[in-house]
A and B are shown apart, each in its own frame.
Chain A
C-alpha cells in the first residue's frame, strides 16, 4: 500500500507540473484532471475513501467539466496558443520559482522538526464523516449552503447580464 501512495504522489506532482507548462488550455485541463485523480488515490491510501470519491465526482467531474465548457465557449484556437507562448517568457518563471522553493524549504524545515509518527492503519468511513458533519459542524454546513446559494446567484447574475447585452 505504501508504494501506492508514493506512486500516486509522483503522478500528482508530475501531472501538475505538466499542467503548468502547457500552452493549450485543453491539454492543461487534462493534466489537471490526472493530477486530481492521483490526489484522490492518495486520499484513498490515507484511509479516507469518502473524500476520495468526492474528489473524483466533484473536482475531477463537475468542476473540471465547468472549465471544459468555458474553454469551449471561448472557442480558443491556434492563435491563442501562439499568444500564450509569447506571454510565457522563460525569465518570468524565475521569481515565482524562487518564492516556491523558499516555501518548500520552509515546509520541509517544519516537517523535519515535527511529528514523524506513522499513520494508523484505520479507515475513517462515510458514516463517521456524516455524523461529524451533521453534528458539531452543522452551522458550517448551513454557512456552506449559503455560500453555494451566493455563488449560484452570482453566477446567474453575471451570466444573465451577458445575455442581455447580446
Chain B
C-alpha cells in the first residue's frame, strides 16, 4: 500500500526522461520508455488493488502524505494521496486502459517524427490524471485537473503545422477554462465557509454544518457542477469535444473518451456529500445529463466523420453517467465509467486502425465493406459497438447502462421523465452505433485498404474486447444471478442508492424496455443503411430533413450561437478598444524604456577617457556628499 506514490511517479519520470532526452533515443526506445512507464504504474496499481482486496485498510481508506506543499496560516495543504474504493477503481482503469492505449500508440505513431514528444505528453497526462484521482485535497485535485487540461490541449494540437488543429486545441482549452473558473470559485466558497480543502474533512464539516437544502451547499454544488460540465463536455460546454478529435487517435481514445472527460463524473462522485445536501443541485446534474445524452445522441446520428460520431457518442454516454449521479446512483455512474472506458477506448482504437489503413480517410460514407479486409478490427469493433449499444446478457454495456436506466426511475431521487429519456437514449445509441458499423464494415468497398495493423495495435484491442464482454459481470441485475461485487466494494466510499420500493418499477421490466429500445434502434439503422440507403438519402434531401440534418450535425447550432453571442462581441470590442488608456500606459512604459536606453547608450562612447572622466566626476560628487552632508 505504501507504494502508492509510485503510480504517478513512474509516468512523471517517463515524461521527464522523454522530454529531456527523447530526441536522442531511437523510436523503439521511446516506445519502450513511454509505454513501459505506464505499464509499471499499471502493475503497481494492480498490486495495490490486490492488497486492498485481500487486507483492506481500516475504514477502507488509506492516506499517504508525500510532502508538505503549502502551509500558510490556517491553510495546510500536503501533497497527499487518498486511496479508497472509488479512487482505486478509477486509478486501476486509468492505468490499465492507459497502458493498453500506450502499447497501441507504439504501433500507431511508429512512423511519426515527433514520437518522443507524443509519448512525453501522454505520460504527463497519465501522471496528471492519477494525481487528480488520488488527490486528498481539492488543490492537488485542481493541479491534476489543470494538468490533464494542459495535456489535452497539447495533444489536440499535436500536429501543429495545420492551423486548424491549433485552433481546435485552443477551443478545448478556453471552453474548459470557463468551467474551471466556476470550479475555482466553488473551491473559494468551500474554503471560505468550511475552512479546509481536505476532501474528507470537508465532507464531514459540510454534513455537520449545513442543513439539507442549504443555499450554500446548492451554490457549491452548482459551481462544482460548472467545472465538471466543462471537463466532461456536457451541455452547455460540450462544443469542444468533437473538435478535439483533431488530435492523434490514441489521444482521442485515452483522453477524450476513456479517462479525462470522466473527471467531471469523478469530481461529483467525490463530492457526493455536497450534492446530498443540495437536492436541487443534484437534480440539475440529472437534468444536464438527460439533456446532453439526447442532444448528443441526435448529433451522433448525423455525423459523416467516424471520429466525430464517436465523440458525440462519448458526450452522450457521459450524459448517462451524469444522469446516474443526478439520481444518487453513484456506483452505477462509476460502473458505467468503467465499462465505457473499455468499449469506447476500443471503438476509438478501432477507428484509428480503419483510418490509418484507408489513407487517413475519416468519412464513413467513403468506407464500407471492411468486414472481410480487416477481420480483427471488425470483430473487436463489433464487440465494442454492441457493448456501447448495450446488447443484452453478453456485453458489459448492458449491465452498466441497464443499471442506470432502472435507477433513473427506481431511485428515491429518480423520476419518470429521466427514465423515459434514458430509454430513448438507448434507442439513439443503438441507432447511431449500428449506423457506424453498417456504414464502415458492410456494403460494398469504396476505398482500398493499403496497410494492415500490426500486433502492437491489435493485441490491446483484443484485450479491451475481452474486457468489454466480461467487464460487466461484476454487477448483474437481481434476476440474472444478482452479483453485486462491484457496488458492494464501492459502497465503502459512496452511499448505496436508495431504492423507492413502493413505486419503483421492477428491474426486469426496465431491462425489457431497454432491450426493446435497442432492437428498435438496430432495426432503424438496418433499414436506413442496409435495406434502403436510397430512402435515407432522399430523406436528407427533403427540405425539412435537410434542415434537421444540418441542425443536428452542427450540434444544434451551439457553435453558431456561441460565435454570435460571445466571440463576435468580444472581437468587436477588442477591435474598437485597441488603443485605450490601459494600452497607452504599457506602450508608454515601453517608450520610456526606449528613450532611457537611447540616453544611456550615448554615454557608451567606447572612449576610455570618457569613462575615466566619469569615474573621476563620480568620485568628486561622492566625496563632496560625504564631506558636506
Closest Cβ of chain A to B439, distance in Å, is 79
| Distance between Cα atoms of A106 and B627 in the complex (Å) | 8
Q: Tell me the complex Cα distance, A102–B620, Å.
A: 8
Q: Which residues of A contact B613 (CB under 8 A)?
A: 95-96, 99
Is A110 located at the chain interface by the 8 A CB criterion? yes
Is A109 engaged at the interface, CB distance under 8 Å to the other chain? Answer: yes
Is A129 part of the contact surface with B, judged by Cβ < 8 Å? no
C-beta contact mask, A80-118 vs B, less than 8 Å → 1, else 0? Answer: 000000000000000110010011001001100000000
What is the CA–CA distance of A109 and B628 in the complex, to the nearest angstrom? 10
Question: What 13 new A-B contacts, CB under 8 Å, besides A99-B617, A99-B620, A103-B616?
Answer: A95-B613, A96-B613, A99-B613, A99-B616, A102-B620, A103-B620, A103-B623, A106-B620, A106-B623, A106-B624, A106-B627, A109-B627, A110-B627
The closest CB in chain A to the CB of B616 belongs to A99
Chain A residue at smallest Cβ distance from B623: A106
The smallest C-beta distance from A98 to any residue of chain B, in angstroms, reads 10
Q: Which residue of B lies closest to A113 (CB)?
A: B627
B-to-A contact residues, CB < 8 Å: 613, 616-617, 620, 623-624, 627
Residues in B whose Cβ lies below 8 Å from that of A109 = 627
Question: How far, in Å, is B436 (CB) from chain A's closest CB?
Answer: 77
> A95 to B624, alpha carbons, bound, how many Å?
18
Distance between Cα atoms of A109 and B617 in the complex (Å): 18
Contacting residues, chain B, for A110 (C-beta < 8 A): 627
Interface residues in chain A, defined as those with a beta carbon under 8 Å from any beta carbon in chain B: 95-96, 99, 102-103, 106, 109-110
A-B contact count (CB 8 A): 16
Q: Smallest Cβ distance from B339 to chain A, in angstroms?
A: 77
Least CB separation from B624: chain A residue: A106
Docked pose: A102 CA to B619 CA in angstroms:
11
Bound-state CA distance A99–B624 (Å) is 12
Assembled-state Cα–Cα distance A95/B334 (Å): 87
| Interchain CA distance A8-B623 in the complex, whole Å | 29
A99–B616 CA distance with the chains assembled, in angstroms: 8
Q: Which residues of B contact A96 (CB under 8 A)?
A: 613
Bound CA–CA A110/B624 (angstroms): 10
Q: Which residue of B lies closest to A106 (CB)?
A: B623
Minimal beta-carbon separation of A44 from chain B (angstroms): 30
Q: Which residues of A contact B617 (CB under 8 A)?
A: 99
Q: Nearest 4 pairs between A and B by C-beta?
A: A106-B623, A99-B616, A102-B620, A103-B620
Complex Cα–Cα for A148 and B624 (A): 35
Cα separation A81 to B320 with both chains bound (whole Å): 100
16 pairs of residues in contact across A and B, judged by CB atoms under 8 Å: A95-B613, A96-B613, A99-B613, A99-B616, A99-B617, A99-B620, A102-B620, A103-B616, A103-B620, A103-B623, A106-B620, A106-B623, A106-B624, A106-B627, A109-B627, A110-B627
Q: List, in ascending order, chain A residues with CB within 8 A of B627's CB.
A: 106, 109-110
Enumerate chain B residues within 8 angstroms of A106, measured Cβ to Cβ.
620, 623-624, 627
Smallest Cβ-Cβ distance to A96: which chain B residue: B613
Measured in the bound complex, the distance between the Cα atoms of B142 and A17 in whole Å is 78
Give the distance in Å from the alpha carbon of A103 to the alpha carbon of B613 in the complex. 13
Q: How far is A16 from B616 in the complex, measured between Cα atoms in Å?
A: 19
**Which chain A residue lies CB-closest to B619?**
A103
Report the minimal beta-carbon distance from A96 to chain B, rounded to whole angstroms.
7
Query: CB-CB < 8 A to A102: which residues of B?
Result: 620
* Cα-based distance from A106 to B620 in the complex (angstroms): 8
Chain B residues contacting A103 (CB-CB under 8 Å) are 616, 620, 623
Alpha-carbon distance between A109 and B627 when the two chains are bound, in angstroms: 9
Cα–Cα distance between A141 and B627 once the two chains are bound (Å): 34
Closest CB in chain A relative to B210 CB, distance in Å: 72
Who on chain B is nearest to A109 by CB?
B627
Could you tell me the distance in whole angstroms from the C-beta of B489 to the nearest C-beta in chain A? 74
Instruction: List chain A residues, Cβ under 8 A from B620.
Output: 99, 102-103, 106
Complex-state Cα separation, A119 to B623, whole angstroms: 26
Task: Please report the C-alpha to C-alpha distance between residue A102 and residue B613 in the assembled complex, in whole angstroms.
Answer: 13
In the complex, A110→B616 CA distance in Å? Answer: 18
Closest to A92 in B: B609
B608 shortest CB reach to chain A, Å: 14
Give min CB distance, A134 to chain B, whole Å.
Answer: 34
A106 to B616: give the CA distance in the assembly, Å: 13
A103 CA to B616 CA, complexed, in Å: 9
CB A49 to nearest CB in B, in angstroms, measures 32
Chain A residues near B624: list those with CB within 8 A: 106
Whole-angstrom distance between the Cβ of A53 and the nearest chain B Cβ = 32
**Shortest distance from the beta carbon of A113 to any chain B beta carbon, whole Å:** 9
Closest residue to A95 on the B side, CB-wise? B613
State in angstroms the CA–CA spacing of A129 and B624 once bound together: 35
The complex places the Cα of A150 from the Cα of B601 at a distance, in Å, of 33
Which A residues lie within 8 Å of B623 (CB)? Answer: 103, 106
Kindly state the separation between the CA atoms of A96 and B613 in the bound complex, as whole angstroms.
Answer: 8
Residues of A within 8 Å of B616, CB to CB, are: 99, 103
Question: Bound state CA distance, A163 and B627, in angstroms?
Answer: 51
CA distance A28 to B617 in the complex (A): 26
